[in-house]
Chains A and B, each alone.
Chain A
Amino acid sequence: MKETTRRDTTKRNMTERDQSGEGRSARNTAEPTGSPAPPTRHQARTGTPGHTRPPGHTRPHGAGPSRGAVLALARVEALRLLRHPAMLASLAGYLALWGYAAATGDPANRYPVLQDESRYLQIPLLLLAIGTLLAANLGILRGRRHGVEPLYEVLGLGPRSRTTAHLLSLLPAVALTAVLALARLGYLAAKPGAVGTVQWLEIAVPPAAVLLAGALGILLARLAPSPSVAPLVLAGLAAVTFVAAVQNTAAWRWLAIVAIEDEFAPPMPSELVGRPAGWHLLWLLALAGLCAALALLRRAPGDAPPAVQPGAGPLGTAAAAAAALAILAGTLQTRPLPANVVQARAEATEHPVAQQVCTTLDTTEYCAFPEFKGRAQDWDKVVRGVLARTPREIADARYAVRQRMFRGGVESHRDMPLPQAAWDADDLRAGTRRAVPVGTWWSEGDAGGDAAGDAVAEFSTLFAYRVVTASVPHAPRTDMVCGSRGVLVLWLAGQATDGTRQALRDLATRSSGGFSFPVLESATGLGFDSRERELAMSLLERPADEIGARVKASWAELASARTSTDRAAQLLGAPAPAQAPATDGACR
């Protein structure tokens, strides 16, 4: 009965406080009983509320508040947290990022690879973590800012219970982040070009980061009750995150909030990713737990010493356990890539045939890693576009396209040769000789990002080269495609689809002189001189049917290695481009 009465009183106090101020202004919230005189500087420093507490008196922790009162305060604080300007601004920033991309057609995300998108979505959602840290920190400092913290002594909730309520108030923000992460992933997964597998542990990182940020904000408020501390700590964390993003191959980057990969490296099948996402999630959760425990353990001025504070023992144990977990997870996540993943990556790079599935569309066989098999339809559009402008015997021939994974090129800055011997042997066994390589990037070609857009231009050019020369580049060098062949290859590649045309135009704006297409960013590639490029780009501005008819009519001569660029211009009814200095490269 006594317990019930006390609980009711506590609830009534809370309700009165809520009614008197919550939802109106922070100042009213902090002043539960009208407008008391502000505390003196001494009172504010020592935490003694004038005559409300006799000297030597300690808060009766033994008669702790009811769970209902804590939950009631948590509910109020949760609402205030979600409505805090910092939270609203960060949410608006996140939605603006998404909205901007959607409003511009979101060309970079029309072909998402879900295992990569699962981690790409972590960075923008850090905005919510920032907002949560600031809002939680300012929320717990509200009473102090308004000089009424000593008046909390007369309420039923002690500092630890208030801290508990503030910690619980983070949960809706965590849930909101989870919803946004899932919504983003759902949006991407619903795209017709989406491939890959969702990495659920990666998806759980943003909510965990928000929980950690909020707990850190509360801990900072308890350790250094000044609103200037959280922004400074946040700036430091941002600097660490930025440096970790730059050092994207260093093992220590996993100790940051999010671990970023080399964004120029092409996507991989999900089983080859090998990110310790589970350990990283545990690292974040353990840190959040540690921050929460330390915030609860932190004594307010005038509180009883830890020895007589009930619950200090279990909290200390919890803090120690969280610290141990953090050390364990932190260590395990920074281990090098497991040997089996390294082996599997090497196998997929050099001998992909055993892992791939093949689909035949018309006269072309497309082989891809199982997660990417849906891309065959997209590649086929380019293939059909190229073959449509060739004579019947060329169009009816059999071709093969094989997806390749080769990350060495990006890591070595186009210095590493392709494992061509292994590929040739594999293709021979599989009956797909002279298969045209295609990577794991893809886009529609128009502003799909440099790598994804260039992948479209690269594939269409390589396939056109295969059609014109009946070969694919092998040697670890840039083979120059000169004269009429160069013009024909570039025109066939560009006119295949709207996307390939756009991709070539985009590449032209980013390069001077001729064109260079390194195969999968390796040392092997094709090169085109400026004259061939100029003529081909000018032909792309003219009706494709008209040029296509001329191409079919003069195919043999145009596809000959001995036909010059001037002769090609004559055959195709275009003015010959100005003479340019000869190149040193070997013509193919």
Chain B
Amino acid sequence: MSRPVHHRPRRHPGKPLPLVLLPPLLRAARTTPLLGAAVTTVLLAGIPAALSANLRLTDGVLLIRVATVLIALGAAFLLDDPAARTTEVAPTPRLLLHGLRALVTITITGTVWAAVLLLGRSAIAPEERVLLPESGLALEAGSLLLSVLMLAAAGLRVTAGTGGGLVAAPGAVLLLLTAMLLPLPDGVELFPQPLSPAWEPSRQLWAGIAGLAAIATGLLLREPRRQRRSPRVA
């Protein structure tokens, strides 16, 4: 009579939990929209750069801004978890899972955006290239991404973790276009031209949006109070 074999679960000794979680999270993530957006934006910025289009500064900034919006929309779906209904019972904290997804989102979109910025920069005429406000545009892009993540986090709450992008992508488009159409107070502009008087105030506005969006995203990604009070795992 042989002794029973005890199959122990596979462990990753010494490996931090986030690193263990990362590969399956990446496999499950909805990366196609971001991939599509990345290809589109790289082409969008790359073609004028390859053709040495010598764009004016304003046109180059417009190009980068359009690319920023597309990348942010593509990133809206990265927080979605198609298996949310089954992973709900796992003991891994929800904040950790979503935090990891958010971190991955920021890393990937940051990389794509940086590539687009470089391409867009080289598409601008050399004499105006030095005037490109990279840090200001980065602030815009970061705020936009955080706002999209905030909407996605809100979407995850109302779709049981599966459809954050369903709320974030249309919501972001609607909010952006409404903000562009709304009569803002004098001197306040969301997308002013570089070197214009409204540029500096708009950076403060974007910084404020980024701060609010970051706080809201953090709060929304936490475990819902209902679930914390009465865990479903008996």
Contacts and interface: CB of A to CB of B under 8 A. Distances in A.
B106 interface: no
A227 B166 contact: yes
Contacts of B135: none
B99 interface: no
B183 A235 contact: no
B182 interface: yes
B62 interface: yes
A179 interface: no
Contact of A93 (B40, B70, B73, B174): B174
A138 B170 contact: yes
A231 B181 contact: no
B73 A232 contact: yes
Contacts of A236: 66, 70
A226 B170 contact: no
Interface string A111-148: 00000000000011011001100100010000001000
B170 A134 contact: yes
A29 interface: no
Contacts of B177: 126-127, 130, 238
A238 B173 contact: yes
A100 interface: yes
Interface string B30-50: 101100110010000000000
Contacts of B74: 228, 232
Contacts of B73: 228, 231-232, 235
B44 to A, nearest CB: 9
B137 interface: no
Contact of A228 (B33, B66, B69, B178): B33
A230 interface: yes
Contacts of A238: 173, 176-177
A230 B165 CA distance: 12
Contacts of B32: 226, 228
A231 B172 contact: yes
Interface in B139-172: 163, 165-166, 169-172
Contacts of B180: 242
A124 B170 contact: no
A101 interface: yes
Contacts of A232: 33, 36-37, 40, 70, 73-74, 169
B113 interface: no
Interface residues of B, number: 30
A230 B170 contact: yes
Contact of A231 (B40, B170, B178, B182): B170
A90 interface: yes
Interface string A141-183: 0000100000000000000000000000000000000000000
Interface in A86-103: 86, 89-90, 93, 96-97, 100-101
A231 B37 CA distance: 11
A89 B183 contact: no
A127 B170 contact: no
A328 interface: no
A101 B183 CA distance: 9
B137 to A, nearest CB: 16
Nearest to B167: A85
A312 interface: no
A535 B174 CA distance: 50
Contacts of A100: 182-183
Nearest to A108: B183
Contacts of A89: 171, 174
B76 interface: yes
B77 interface: yes
Interface string B175-212: 01110111100000000000000000000000000000
B166 A97 contact: no
A582 B166 CA distance: 66
Contacts of A227: 163, 165-166, 169
Contact of B77 (A228, A230, A243): A228
A147 to B, nearest CB: 10
A228 B183 contact: no
Contacts of B169: 227-228, 230-232
Given A138-B166, A228-B32, A234 B173 contact: yes
B116 to A, nearest CB: 14
B166 A93 contact: no
A432 B211 CA distance: 64
Contacts of A230: 169-170
A239 interface: yes
B182 A97 contact: yes
Contacts of A130: 173-174, 177
B70 A127 contact: no
A96 B178 CA distance: 10
A123 to B, nearest CB: 7
B69 A235 contact: yes
A131 B174 contact: yes
A500 to B, nearest CB: 21
A343 B163 CA distance: 58
Nearest to B66: A239
A545 B58 CA distance: 52
A97 B33 contact: no
Given A97-B181, A101-B183, A138-B170, A231 B163 contact: no
Contacts of A134: 170, 173-174
Interface string A217-251: 00000000011111110111011001100000000
A172 B228 CA distance: 44
A228 B172 contact: no
Contacts of B173: 130, 134, 231, 234-235, 238
Contacts of B33: 226, 228-229, 232
Task: Identify the interface centre among B69, B77, B170: most chain A CB within 10 Å of its CB.
Answer: B170
Nearest to A231: B169
A90 B174 contact: yes
Nearest to B169: A231
A120 B36 CA distance: 35
A155 B76 CA distance: 34
Contacts of B172: 231
Interface of B: 30, 32-33, 36-37, 40, 62, 66, 69-70, 73-74, 76-77, 163, 165-166, 169-174, 176-178, 180-183
Closest 3 CB pairs of A and B: A228-B33, A231-B169, A134-B170
24 contacts: A89-B174, A90-B178, A93-B182, A100-B182, A101-B183, A126-B177, A127-B174, A127-B178, A130-B177, A131-B174, A134-B170, A145-B166, A227-B163, A227-B165, A227-B169, A228-B30, A229-B33, A230-B170, A231-B73, A231-B173, A232-B33, A232-B74, A236-B70, A239-B69
Given A93-B181, A130-B177, A134-B174, 7 more contacts: A86-B174, A93-B178, A134-B173, A226-B33, A227-B169, A228-B76, A236-B66
